[in-house]
Chain A
Amino acid sequence: MAIEIEKPSVGLSKVAVSETHGEDSPYFAGWKAYDENPYNESSNPSGVIQMGLAENQVSFDLLEKYLEEHSEASSWGKGAPGFRENALFQDYHGLKSFRQAMANFMEQIRGGRARFDPDRIVLTAGATAANELLTFILADPGDALLVPTPYYPGFDRDLRWRTGVKIVPIHCDSSNNFQVTPEAMEAAYRCAESMNLKVRGILITNPSNPLGATIQRTVLEQILDFATNKNIHLVSDEIYSGSTFSSSEFISIAEVLETRGYKDSERVHIVYSLSKDLGLPGFRVGTIYSYNDKVVTTARRMSSFTLISSQTQHLLACMLSNKEFSENYIKTNRERLTRRYDMIINGLKTAGIECLKGNAGLFCWMNLSPLLEEPTRESELALWKVILNEVRLNISPGSSCHCSEPGWFRVCFANMSEQTLEVALKRIHKLMEQRRRRN
């Protein structure tokens, strides 16, 4: 039995003792409230409804149907042919058939308007790992990446924690639907310079989390031009590219490069994942697609720290190379997400709540600024606490996404049944009625 030793606690790294893992943000506190009192239609109808988790649960039946009809993907259960090769396979190039399938899938999502070379696909265990890995490659500790606000709270950890790289926000506001502008990019760049930070790149999420909207072509062009002028990298996290409500409205940076003849494309890198579009976050499937050979080679070597399970690569290679399945999935998934979106937008509208006009993603960006006591972050958090504890909905406050305008909230709608969504909408109606009566 070890003696209790009266010593100062033994030294850990600075990384270990820092708070840059970001888990102390309200973003995660809401989950705690949910975990302690989770809604259940029958057993806990007054529990907290989870609307802070961007998961896609609307299309599982399509996946299950595929599996039931295609035993080759589940071949281990019935004779295990190919098991040992698969179990041994740890080549960081990844299963060729899987890379091919991913490249095809990415092309299909973009309606064939861009081509993807399977040999440029680097596999990582989730987009979380992909974004961190790219940051390690593109920037040194102490350097900065420019990121438009509001942005996914996880970026604070993924881009900064172990890399030592800083995020300098590009401020966006509702005056132009939170779109990035050249002025805002310049301002962020100057801000970084004034802090003596070397800017190495700009990272955008398209479609945007938390806005739930795609970036317009002109804006993409401006962002690419900006990156070119400053001679920095452009990372486009396109994790929600398959979750657009209409196939034509999403424009990938790949398409912009295509129209430019891939001139100067070596500064562009795309991150993708199956966690949102296919609803498979547990499987840890992320990819980096880079137009820069050295980045591809280095990323591939670095992926040794975060490879995708060969078992999972095998399963998904089978599934995604089935064109009939993938085409039908993309189409059906889009339709169902659109339906959900319409449902929540209309429900909120009748409650008197406006949202940013969205066209993608698993969430909507809700404007509750009229309800704020004062246009401040504190007021926003106070309102958030009321919604969490009294209305019992876990939604994400805009401040946790670094939104500079208080009063906006991200509300997820694809991680629950339609019935649960109805219940959530009813509760919101009630809240709004109460507020109206009070006034």
Chain B
Amino acid sequence: MEFTRNNNRQLLSKVATNNRHGENTPYFEGWKAYDSNPFHPTQNPQGVIQMGLAENQLCFDLIEKWLLENPDASICTAEGIDRFRDIAIFQDYHGLKEFREGVAKLMGRVGGNRVKFDPNRIVMSGGATGANETVMFCLADPGDAFLVPSPYYAAFARDLRWRTGLEIVPVDCKSSNNFRITRAALEEAYEEAQRSNINVKGVIIANPSNPLGTVLDKETMRSLVSFINDKSIHLVCDEIYAATVFGSPRFISVAEIIQDMDCNRDLIHIVYSLSKDMGLPGFRVGIVYSFNDCVMNCARKMSSFGLVSSQTQFLLAAMLNDEEFVGNFLRESSKRLAKRHHVFTKGLERIGISTLKSNAGLFFWMDMRPLLKEQTVQAEIELWRVIINKVKLNVSPGSSFQCSEPGWFRVCFANMDDETVQVALERIREFVHQGKEEDGVSEKSKHWRKQNLRLSFSSSRLYNESLMSPHMISPHSPIPQSPLVRART
């Protein structure tokens, strides 16, 4: 008997044949446009600029310099080779002590040194992707749910739900109060879930927020902790963007909040990573930091499924324990992010496009509502198509983050060089002015009459399966076509 297509469906698991991997969404269609026509300043100046990938490429020079000065951090160099066999053999899921110490120190520092993190609570995982999934496996059973304030990171749909069998209950946040998470919204979502017989096990937030780029204020944090404590449900804080904060208000870790609050610490769990703060997504450094001993122990056992390469642990241990380097890196990174953010947001302001006030993350949240034909998701997607195909910028539509208000777009700014930034701004300027001319509106006006905008777009199908070939580069990295990085192979 042969495996037929139909057979395949039955012969693989439900997990394997459902769509919870999330790749059949518009979020990835933009990347396809980028992959097939990537911008290059000289070779392809008309190509699509990648602004849908939250990477931090601003501080590699600092790390490269450190690597040059510290050859013994590599077990492959003459200076480091005497550590090779010990490290190559090391697969203890507790992780290298120096690595844990380095990470704990970094987390403390990033939190403004207001909290001390215990290296013995540091548990590894396969990136924050692995960390979030692991925490879900520890806290909830298939069919249970987590409340997730929207808009939220698109891949939560996969990370929290795919293999775990959990459900997401969105907690809608609105622009009317700058998308703050309110106690009322949490209560409402929780009650609604209860009425539908959905067992809510906890809340998961990203702080700083992806896609908003904002940090949660103390009051909101305290309200959150109080909420989950009252309901006796878990709070997972994904603090992956903690060190991408610039200016004020400062980042406040949930670890700091619970220092001054009466709450059941067994409910509090932090997810961290070096993929954004340090710009090292390829190294797969995810961290689970739980205040609950059972969860910590369980997550540690589960880390066998996603340990950090000992070679990488060793390198990062040396780097993160170099306190002078870390201090300088964090300061410089903040500065550069601030500058980049400023260039973009001010540039857009001059064109009449507003963005949500933010001071963190590798992106900003752009308000394109005035440009929508109507305030619907369909109109948002149509506008997005225009931005990808005509303006040639891959930005991410708010609907892919489950934003309840159409018209918002996440725009990444830290994954390109300064020249590309100018090209992107210029393209937006042109697009906006073109629209103004067609509109017949004077240049002094900053508002648009939506009905005069002619939007052209191709097929209305949001997703075309045949185009998702195995050769398409994954959503996570367009390398080697990244505009900043030159391809080598």
Contact = CB atoms under 8 A, between A and B. Distances in A.
A7 B15 contact: no
Given A76-B74, A279-B89, A13 B137 contact: yes
B74 A2 contact: no
B405 interface: no
B67 A91 contact: no
Contacts of A367: none
A234 to B, nearest CB: 12
Nearest to B8: A294
A233 B11 contact: yes
Given A63-B88, A279-B88, A73 B76 contact: yes
Contacts of B60: 83-84, 87
B67 A83 contact: yes
Interface string A118-136: 0100000110110010001
Contacts of B3: 264, 266-267, 292
Interface in A265-310: 266-267, 275, 279-284, 292-298, 300-302, 304-310
B298 A280 contact: no
Contact of A282 (B70, B89, B267): B89
Contacts of B258: 2
Interface in A73-111: 73-74, 76-80, 82-93, 96-97
A88 B479 contact: yes
Interface in B145-179: 158-159, 162-163, 165
B130 A295 contact: no
A138 B9 CA distance: 10
B201 interface: yes
Contact of B295 (A12, A129, A139): A12
A136 B15 contact: yes
Contacts of B261: 2
B311 A309 contact: yes
Given A138-B13, A162-B302, A64 B85 contact: yes
Interface string B278-304: 011111100000001011001001101
A12 B84 contact: no
Contact of B81 (A64, A136, A304): A64
Interface string A304-330: 111111111001000000000000000
A380 B483 CA distance: 64
Contacts of A125: 126, 284, 305-307, 309
A195 interface: no
B311 A312 contact: yes
A29 interface: no
A59 B113 CA distance: 45
A309 B304 CA distance: 15
Contacts of B78: 68
Interface stretch (A14-22, A215-223, A385-393): A14-22
A232 to B, nearest CB: 8
B222 interface: no
Contacts of A162: 137, 163, 302, 305
A265 to B, nearest CB: 9
Given A16-B137, A57-B85, A84-B485, A139 B13 contact: yes
B479 A307 contact: no
Interface string B6-28: 01100111111000010100000
Nearest to B486: A85
Which range contains the number of B residues in contact with the other chain?
35 or more
Contacts of B7: 231
A90 B282 contact: yes
Interface centre among B87, B304, B473 (most CB of A within 10 A): B304
A83 B309 CA distance: 17
B137 A295 contact: no
B133 interface: yes
B139 interface: yes
A86 B301 CA distance: 29
A86 B265 contact: no
Given A13-B141, A77-B77, A295 B306 contact: no
A88 B485 contact: yes
Interface string A205-218: 00000000000000
Contacts of B57: 84, 88
Nearest to A165: B13
Contact of B76 (A67, A275, A307): A67
Given A84-B57, A140-B15, A306-B126, A10 B264 contact: yes
18 contacts: A1-B259, A2-B262, A9-B266, A12-B292, A12-B298, A13-B140, A68-B81, A77-B71, A77-B74, A77-B76, A85-B479, A87-B63, A88-B55, A138-B13, A162-B305, A305-B306, A312-B312, A315-B76
Given A143-B13, A275-B91, A281-B90, 9 more contacts: A5-B264, A91-B479, A137-B12, A162-B305, A231-B7, A284-B91, A284-B308, A294-B16, A305-B133
Interface of A: 1-3, 5, 7, 9-17, 21, 23, 55, 57, 60, 63-64, 67-68, 71, 73-74, 76-80, 82-93, 96-97, 119, 125-126, 128-129, 132, 136-141, 143, 157, 162, 200, 228, 231, 233, 264, 266-267, 275, 279-284, 292-298, 300-302, 304-312, 315
